[in-house]
Structure 1
């Protein structure tokens, strides 16, 4: 009898807390075929990292196995080395040209204003009233575009997140495609605007010299904007919920601010937004005793890898000064997140904002998880600055 655990990413209990299941999978089914997703699933750290860094044998660019990738889907994400080199180099250089200190200062100013206003409310939803506006303002300033309407962009980002799970729920594709169309319209507007300080202006001014086709700039702009917004939004919710459930962690950082840099990475490792990312096998591969044929999809389950005891000592415990901490939350290898530095900075400033808040933030009800598998996100996070309205 097969007693191996069943992996349903959209199961309610898995959405609430997937980590016990991930532990079972690592122990009993570290590599397995998932019929619904039509892919191999890898759960161990070493296997996931090996796939992510081995772009020669595991492709992000589906054209390498004969698939058609329409022009509107061609971006930095769809390119592998050496073809991605000019665009990735251009983006990395542009991100380095930005001023993280200035952006951090503006985040603090925005947080202070939000918390001052919300401190007088009995309860409020941290996701819509703090995480979303902070993610939107940081991303707009970093990319260098006019900030879109908050609720409108929240709908777009949510639709794209649902589209990522179309392999599990095909009915989500239409909503996601509509959201992608709306994002493309925003990008066209941004490209038609006058230059603003930021990554987009820097990239556009140097794209011709770097010989990067225009449609890659257009598509990558949308990809970058949504990835930045979505990552900051989801990470903010996960990190704040962890700190609300473990107030001793925030007290430890308050007592020793030197913990802050390592604490940010540890909190992201412990409960990050990216659950997995996929590649396609270019040639016949063998992982342990499992044969992976050319054209097979391989899903690296990053969140499971981030709690692998073979890589992280006592991985179920939050160790604020954990070092080294080479988690996979921002990817690994040639497709690692180009804006990881700014993502970490945004979460760091959010924690600083909690430390400086007029009163301690507390849970004011039961958090609700958004039913998305690829991106682990809280939908509603009721909180309060008033002890009398706090949840037990």
Structure 2
């Protein structure tokens, strides 16, 4: 399944998708930068841009952004049901609604996009429609939610670190800077895996079947791995962060994620005033995903050109 999705991902026009993401970001941000009013970056920029990118990747019809954002939020909050039992019922209801959307996509799938290619190759690979269904749901939901989170976290970092803003504006550092923003404040704080064979880590024996939670956000600030881990170092090399997983657990959509976040950051920082906080960011209680659900920002005009 992973191989099928990975090959299909590489066959998609990722540069064109990145260009479309940039065009939409430019349109939204240009409108906001001309206004003296503040705006919610998460709702007005990150969500529509992320939704466009993921839908173009899959080759599906784009649902209304506010409606889908509500579904995605309910499902991602459901991952924390062990801590907050009250979020489970809304998550199950949202999953039912998302399944209806996926059924519509499967029935109306044409010959474009990743989903079409995966469905075409699934039978030859011995994969069931249900397995493709589940993976498509995960890819769509995770691709949207993590892209929103990564974009919002990066925008927050830019707005609260003037030196970083100036560095991005004055030099071409985004090729490495995108990964540094994700390391510094990645959207996924932790993930759980099942141990497949008895393993010893230090003095601890992990038995087959035991659940292990990797705290990715903590690992990305490990002082033994990263010099000055609490600082944003846009030229950091090497940068073996875990924001997109690693190895066999690496994110299949990592290439597109980097393209999308870079397009957004270029749009935010190019030919506009400085991005500043216009109020306190607001966060819902979540343990798995970390990003501001509401991020009030504004652009302050430069008095002199750079």
Shorter-chain TM-score range: over 0.9
1:329 CA drift (Å): 0.8
Mind listing any 5+ residue stretches in structure 2 that lack a counterpart? 302-306
Deviations 1:200-225 (A, max 9, x none): 01111221122211111111111110
Matches within 5 A, 1:96-111: 96-111=10-25
- In structure 2, the CA distance between the partners of 1:214 and 1:151, relative to structure 1 (3 Å rule), is same
Q: Does 1:134 find its partner at 2:49?
A: yes
1:189 to 104, 115, 119: 104
**1:250 CA drift (Å):** 2.3
| Aligned length, in residue pairs | 301
How far apart, in 1, do the equivalents of 2:230 and 2:61 lie?
A: 41
Residue 367 of structure 1, aligned match among 281, 301, 306: 281
How far apart, in 1, do the equivalents of 2:237 and 2:45 lie? Answer: 30
Q: 1:347 aligns with which of 261, 269, 281?
A: 261
Residues 163, 172 of structure 1: 8 Å contact kept: yes
Is 2:160 the partner of 1:242? no
- Select which of 184, 188, 192 maps to 1:270: 184
1:149 maps to 2:81: no
Matches within 5 A, 1:211-230: 211-230=126-145
Q: Does 2:124 match 1:206? A: no
Q: Per-residue deviation at 1:327?
A: 0.7
Cα separation, 1, equivalents of 2:114 and 2:158: 32
Alignment root-mean-square deviation, CA: 1.6
Q: How far apart in 1 are the matches of 2:112 and 2:88?
A: 35
1:290–1:355 CA distance, 2 compared to 1 (3 A):
same
The answer as to whether partners of 2:191 and 2:215 remain within 8 angstroms in 1 is yes
Q: Distance in 2 between matches of 1:285 and 1:97?
A: 37
Structure 1 gap segments, 5+ residues each: 1-86, 388-392
Give TM-score, length-normalised by structure 1.
0.74
| Contact 2:18 2:260 (8 Å CA) reproduced | yes
Q: Measured at CA, do residues 205 and 293 of structure 1 come closer, stay the same or move farther in structure 2, by a change above 3 Å?
A: closer
SS at match of 2:95: helix
Q: Contact (CA 8 Å) 1:277, 1:302: kept in 2 or not?
A: yes
For residues 253 and 116 of structure 1, do their structure 2 counterparts lie closer, same or farther at Cα, with a shift above 3 Å needed? Answer: closer
Q: TM-score of the superposition, structure 2-length normalised?
A: 0.94
Deviates more, 1:154-163 or 1:207-216: 207-216
Question: Paired residue for 2:231?
Answer: 317
Contact 2:47-2:148 within 8 A present in 1 as well: yes
Displaced runs of 4+ in structure 1, greater than 6 A?
Answer: none
Q: What is the CA-CA distance between 1:280 and the residue it aligns to?
A: 2.1
- Equivalent-residue separation in structure 2 for 1:286 and 1:312 (angstroms): 25
Cα-to-partner distance string for 1:344-390 (whole Å, 9 max, x where unaligned): 11110111001225332221111112211101121110111246xxx
Cα displacement string for residues 169-214 of structure 1 (whole angstroms, at most 9, x for unaligned residues): 2222111111111111110010111415211011112211222111
Taking the TM superposition and a 5 Å limit, the aligned residue runs for 1:9-28 are none
Which secondary structure does the structure 2 equivalent of 1:379 belong to? coil
Q: Is the 8 A contact 1:122 1:386 kept in 2?
A: no
- Cα contact 1:115–1:357 (8 A) shared by 2: no
Query: How far apart are residue 298 of structure 1 and its match?
Result: 1.0
CA contact (8 A) 1:165 1:373 kept: yes
